[in-house]
Amino acid sequence: MYRDLNEDERYILEGMIDRCGLSSVLMALSEVCGAKSEHIATNWQDKDMAKDWATLEGAIGCVVPRATARGL
């Protein structure tokens, strides 16, 4: 169902990290996971999948301070 990022997509992602910093990109990914969790819970009533996305939101969010502290 899913696939790895292709070379162009990885290049775009690297550019975002170069322009905004790794911590900002990670925070955005965390926020996207949170938004997906809310959308799934509200529109699909799939509590298990919503919880999975919320867990990923938290896991990615836990990495942000480490990246920030290292100036990444």
What local confidence, expressed as pLDDT, does residue 2 receive? 93
Instruction: Specify the pLDDT at position 72.
Output: 87
Domain residue spans of the chain: 31-72
Residue 71, classed as helix, strand or coil, is: coil
Q: Specify the 3-state DSSP secondary structure of 13.
A: helix
The closest of 50, 16, 21 to 35, measured between CA atoms, is: 50
What does pTM read for this prediction? 0.92
Rg, C-alpha atoms of the chain: 14
pLDDT in tens, the chain (72 residues): 899 999 999 999 999 999 999 999 999 999 999 999 999 999 999 999 999 999 999 999 999 999 999 998
